[in-house]
Amino acid sequence: MGLSVTRGPGIVTAPGKRRALRVGALAGMAALVAVVATGCTANQAFLFSMPDSAARQTQVTNNLWQGAWIAAWAVGLVTWGLMIWAWIAYRRRHRDQIPEQTQYNVPIEILYTLVPLVMILGLFWFTAKDQTEILTVQNDQQQTVNVVGFQWSWGFNYIDQNVYDVGSPNYIPTLVLPVNEKVKFELTSPDVIHSFWVPDFLFKMDVIPGRTNTFELTPDKIGTFAGKCAELCGTYHSQMLFNVKVVSKADFDAYTAALKARGNTGMLQTGRVTNNGSRTAEREL
């Protein structure tokens, strides 16, 4: 008959040890399979890297993200090392031997308090520094776009060209931007809080009624990128989708000219089109 009887509280039987080893091995295999199945590279698996960005300023975000994961892996390796060391150094060498029990250890208690405090303060400092850099508006943009988030779609005012485009839950609008030109985004909303999010820009910002949030960004990759509202804003929140199309300067000029030819002149505001301040016309949204 095998060892299957517990001799006292806290003593694990041999079958229990084998069961724990099997569970640990299965968990490790599952994690490895998950990494391989998702097609992750080594860099993505261990640093959880962001997608390849489509804008210049996003490198700051990527550096902060990867730096945080490097620190997290360092803490994890130290913690796992201490656990393995304690497992080996204080293992039970005889069947009935129990390691010496202590109530507390002052140096360890101090260490466990100071180290997390230093880590949190360090992470806060780097986050605040990078956030300040990302949100600094220099007002040297080449294009200015007013993004209007409303229930439940988006409108885009191309301020320098005095034209607009607007979407609806049944029509996904497209924000067209020229490549390699700095764009200043001005975010406004007439109703509730929305959130302007383009994952490939590695950036999102809330669209808040009664205030104008701004940021600057330079698209540097031609292509079409998906955008969405990242703030639960009502019944049709899931339909608040849009596309961002980054094109050459010539194509951008042709697009804004086409909007003007269609009669989309003036600035779109609260679901109402205002033409040169002289008249308003309700749009079917």
**Measuring CA to CA, how many Å separate 107 from each of 89, 100, 104, 115?**
19, 18, 9, 12
Q: Which has more confidence, 159 or 28?
A: 159
Residue 55: what pLDDT? 84
Domain count, the chain: 3
Distance from C-alpha of 71 to C-alpha of 115, rounded to nearest angstrom: 12
Q: What is the token pair recorded at 12?
A: 């694990």
| Preceding omega of 154 cis (within 30 degrees of 0) | no
- Say which amino acid occupies 263: G
Judgement on whether residues 194 and 234 belong to the same structural domain of the protein: yes
Tens of pLDDT, residue by residue over 19-68, are 555 555 555 555 555 544 544 444 555 556 666 788 887 788 888 888 88
Tens of pLDDT, residue by residue over 198-217, are 999 988 999 999 899 999 99
Q: What is the token pair recorded at 80?
A: 């796992």
Judgement on whether residues 266 and 232 belong to the same structural domain of the protein: yes
Residue 276: what pLDDT? 45
In a domain, 6, yes or no: no
Please give the distance of CA 36 from its chain centroid, rounded to a whole number: 23
Identify each DSSP E strand in the chain by its residue range: 143-150, 153-158, 163-166, 174-178, 183-188, 194-198, 203-207, 213-217, 223-229, 241-247, 267-268, 272-275, 279-282
Tens of pLDDT, residue by residue over 171-203, are 899 999 999 999 999 999 999 999 999 999 988
Distance from C-alpha of 157 to C-alpha of 186, rounded to nearest angstrom: 9
Q: What is the CA radius of gyration of the chain?
A: 28
Q: Which residues span the domain enclosing 43? A: 12-47
Assign 265 to helix, strand or coil. strand
Judgement on whether residues 129 and 61 belong to the same structural domain of the protein: yes
What is the CATH number for 211? 2.60.40.420
Q: Are 157 and 145 in contact (CB under 8 A)?
A: yes
Identify the CA nearest to 256 among candidates 145, 102, 97.
145
In a domain, 97, yes or no: no
Mean pLDDT across the stretch 262-271? Answer: 84
Q: What is the token pair recorded at 47?
A: 């640093």
Tens of pLDDT, residue by residue over 11-33, are 444 455 555 555 555 555 555 55
Judgement on whether residues 68 and 120 belong to the same structural domain of the protein: yes
Residue 169 banded pLDDT, cuts 50, 70, 90: confident
Tens of pLDDT, residue by residue over 234-254, are 888 999 999 999 999 999 999
